[in-house]
Amino acid sequence: MNLQIWVQEHMSLFFAITPSTPSASLDTIFPESSMRELWKHINILFFGSDIPRRLSCFRWATTPLHPRYETAIGVASVRYFRYSIVILPSIDCILMLSTLLHEACHIFLRYYACQACWSTEWNLNTVGHRRAWQVLASAVERKFVEFTGLPADLGRLDSLRAHWDDCWPLPSIHELADWQLDRPTLMPIYVNDLHKAVRGYVGLDGGDDKVRDFPLRGFMEYWWVDTKQAELIAKEGRLGDGTGLFEEKTLVCRADMSCGGMEREQEQSDGEVEREHERI
C-alpha cells in the first residue's frame, strides 16, 4: 500500500458529509502500528528510505506533550537512540497528516544530519526549525499537495515566529524568500473550496463510496493551475499581529461535475485565519 492508496481508502475521514456527526478520536481509528506504516510510506516517498523499525516508533499522546508549549499537538524526540513521533489523537485527520509530515522532517534531519558538524547550529538550530528544516519542510509541503491533492500546512511560519528568540543567526531576506513562507496563506482557502466541491459532488444521498470516487488530484491540479493568480492573491495577503495570516480575498473554485467542467469565481471575504496549534 502506498500513500495515494491510503488517502483514497480514508477519504471519508477527511471530508465529513454530515458535519453534525462527532468525530471519533484518531487513536480509535488508526492503531499505532498502522500510523507507523503510514510514516514509513512518507519516509520512502520523500526521503528515499525508511528509518529502521527497531530504532523508531509512533505513539498517540495520552498526556500533554510539552510543559513549555501548552498548545503542542505533535512532537519528535530522540531518546536512547530511539526516534519517536507522538501526536495528539483529538485533532482532525487533515491536521494529523500535516503534523506527521512536520515531525517526519524533524526525525529525518535528526537521524541523518551530523550533530557534531560546525554548521549544525546554523542549519538546524536547537529548536530544529532553522534553515535545513525550513527548506526540507517547504518541499515536502508542496509535493504532498501535488501528489495527493490533500491540503497540507506544516506550520513553518508559526514555528519560526514561536521560536524567533532562539533563531540565530537570523534568516536573511533571501532565505525567507526561498522558504516561500507565504504559500500556506492560500491553504485555508483551498481547504474551504475543496470541502465545497466534495459536498457538491457527493450530494445529500452519497455515501463513503461516492466520497472515495471524488477526483481529488484533478481538483487540485485545476485549483492551483493559475499560479500567477495564486501568487497575486498571496502577495495581497498580509501578515497580521500574530493571530491572522490572510484576509481580504478568497479564491473560490468549484467543480461542476454534472457537466464535466470547472468554474472559477472570486468573492470577497472578511475575517482572519487563527492559528490554534503548535507543532514542535
- Kindly give the confidence (pLDDT) of every residue in the chain, 280 residues in length, as a single tens digit, with 9 standing for 90 and above: 588 889 988 888 888 765 545 567 999 999 999 999 999 999 999 999 999 999 999 999 988 877 777 778 999 999 888 999 999 999 999 999 999 999 999 999 999 988 777 777 667 765 678 888 999 999 999 999 999 999 999 999 888 887 787 777 788 888 888 888 888 888 998 999 999 999 899 886 767 788 888 999 999 988 887 655 656 666 665 434 333 333 333 333 333 333 334 343 333 344 444 444 567 6
Q: β-strand 248-256 against 278-279: which pairing, if any?
A: unpaired
Provide the terminal-to-terminal Cα distance of the chain, rounded to the nearest Å: 29
Q: Which three cell numbers stand for residue 88?
A: 495528539
Residue with cell 496549534: 277
> What pLDDT, on a 0 to 100 scale, did the predictor assign at position 162?
79
Q: pLDDT tens across 169-203, in order?
A: 788 888 888 888 888 888 998 999 999 999 899 88
Q: Which pLDDT score, from 0 to 100, does residue 113 have?
A: 85
Q: Which residue has the cell 452519497?
A: 206
Distance in angstroms (rounded) separating the CA atoms of residues 120 and 164: 17
Closest CA relative to residue 90, chosen from 178, 23, 147, 11: 23
Q: How far apart are CA 15 and CA 214, in angstroms?
A: 10
Q: Quick one: three-class SS letters along the chain?
A: CCHHHHHHHCHHHHCCCCCCCCCCCHHHHCCHHHHHHHHHHHHHHHHCCCCCHHHEEEEECCCCCCCCCCCEEEEEEEECCEEEEEECCCCCHHHHHHHHHHHHHHHHHHHHCCCCCCCHHHHCCCCCCCHHHHHHHHHHHHHHHHHHCCCCCCCHHHHHHHCHHHCCCCCCHHHHHHHCCCHHHHHHHHHHHHHHHHHHHHCCCCCHHHHHCCCHHHHHHHHHCCHHHHHHHHHHCCCCCCCCCCCEEEEEEEEECCCCEEEEEEEEECCCCCCCCEEC
Half-sphere exposure in the Cβ direction for 28 (13 Å, CA): 7
Q: How many CA atoms lie within 13 A of 44 on its CB side?
A: 11
Residue 131 phi/psi, 5-degree rounding, is: -55, -50
Model confidence, pTM: 0.79
Q: Which amino acid is at 122?
A: W
